[in-house]
A and B are shown apart, each in its own frame.
Chain A
């Protein structure tokens, strides 16, 4: 076997488009590959891939392993795993990067185990040390501590949190190599069966892509303000509505509203929190927000440490006046 070389990233796509986390991953991978003086490759898996390989090259890839198979129609974990194990064994990358998305989160640990290596999870930053070892920075203990870790075996693997890099500018004239590969999957690798997929409708804008987000916490005191005062604020600002895990656990709003470590990661230009104390696990989901505004009655709440502007007061009085003034301004 050739000695391990290059950076391989695991690509994700939906509806004929590369996912935003994959474009960001290409930027992370490009920086590492350039520092190594080696190639950046991306594995793209699907029933068919259309123009996606060319698109990945436009965003920074040197090489695309385009693997097509009817079993890869849906991003099924078992099918992806089997395919990626083969791809990594065949191409022996030095570094493998995944996005810490729904797919990457569950795929990364299994891939690391199959390849007999280790995975740095939930990384905010990756770089190389002077020995070409992958060094990753990641939050632990709900963001109360920061760890710097490295992987002492090959391939060195990291799962990177979305919104931690800007995609490179799209360059359609960039050249690269597309290598068509067969998955060669035996149907028996698939051990789990999806019987049904259910979409739970959420009103309004998507949290992950909204430019403005407003969210409520336990301090709102009930489900009603989410549909009334918070919704009014959202309408005025053209914002998506989110919530904390505590609120979802109580059942005031469905899981699709949840922002945080085990919910959605948001990166709006403006994030307005109402009655949110700022628990670490919530803050882990909004570290990408450019400006945080907090309305909370406890002036000692942790949210004021992260906020740029705040009002320490009763939301029942502050929020209607805030919304009214905004309506006059906008």
Chain B
């Protein structure tokens, strides 16, 4: 049996969008991209690091299969197929209008857990440490609990040796080397390194691959399973009023000098 690695991926609004690209539908309590910007969505950056981690394992152990798993109300196939073009073997999309604007991470974790069970046996699940929209950092941890497997969060290196996953978990002042028996869930951070670029060969192969698409009903989930317990009461764009005093001297050196004098005058130094 090849080693089976599942990498989760969330489609998100491009976090590099300028603040002006954000609009809030306050009634629906959701963020909507500004219609004029037309910035395409992306795969969450940390999830791309996770896909890279999965592909590195595949490179190292040779006999491995990487499945991409995502859940959402709808997907841009151009965006999601990047994961296949990077070198993943298969992709499962749980696509259902009921997954629109889900703010409760527990609900997402339940959906992914049901999808993982339907996919079948797995050895390792790799996710990004958090998504760039709600920054909850909850879904993979909840997924580990629901599947009853070990969990190693926020790592920068992931290797599989002798039915164990060995990771470097990032700490504020260094790192620790942590191991867990498979199956397990691991989350990765950007320190893992840049995700690889799709090769032409993989792009061609990805174009021919059809993702498996499931509805929630295919996973045997009842609406009651999906009732959120984290409720969004309000969502708005915070007002930012600038109070910045720009220091302008005769030239740039003079500005630097005046800045120092200003800080002293205001008693900040």
The chain A residues found within 8 Å of chain B, CB to CB, are 77-78, 102, 105-106, 108-110, 112-114, 117-122, 135, 139-153, 191-200, 202, 208, 237, 245, 248-249, 255-256, 261-262, 264, 269-270, 280-281, 291, 293-295, 299, 302, 304-314, 317-326, 329-330
Contacting pair B153 A191 (CB below 8 A): no
Q: What residue of chain A has the Cβ atom nearest to residue B187's Cβ?
A: A106
Residues of B within 8 A of A313 (CB): 252, 255-256
Shortest Cβ-Cβ A-B pairs, 8 listed = A321-B256, A325-B260, A191-B150, A322-B256, A317-B252, A109-B138, A318-B256, A118-B230
- Interface size band for B: 35 or more
> Which one, A122, A149, A264, contacts B233 given CB within 8 A?
A149
Q: What residue of chain B has the Cβ atom nearest to residue A294's Cβ?
A: B244
| Chain B interface, >50% SS class | mixed
| B44 on interface, CB distance cutoff 8 Å | no
Contacting pair A141 B133 (CB below 8 A): yes
Say whether, besides A145-B22, A152-B231, A305-B244, A192 and B190 are in contact (CB < 8 Å): no
Contacting pair B173 A200 (CB below 8 A): yes
Most buried by A among B137, B166, B180: B137
How many A-B contacts at CB < 8 Å in the complex?
256
Contacting pair B191 A255 (CB below 8 A): yes
| B109 on interface, CB distance cutoff 8 Å | yes
The chain B residues found within 8 Å of chain A, CB to CB, are 13, 15, 19, 22, 24, 31, 103-106, 109, 129-130, 132-138, 141-142, 144-146, 149-154, 156, 166, 170-181, 184, 189-191, 194, 228-238, 240, 242-248, 251-257, 259-264, 266, 268-269
Contacting pair A322 B240 (CB below 8 A): no
Residues of B within 8 A of A152 (CB): 228-231
Residues of A within 8 A of B268 (CB): 269-270, 291
> Which one, B137, B152, B238, B263, contacts A192 given CB within 8 A?
B152
Residues of B within 8 A of A312 (CB): 246
Contacting pair B247 A147 (CB below 8 A): no
A148 to B236, CA, bound (A): 9
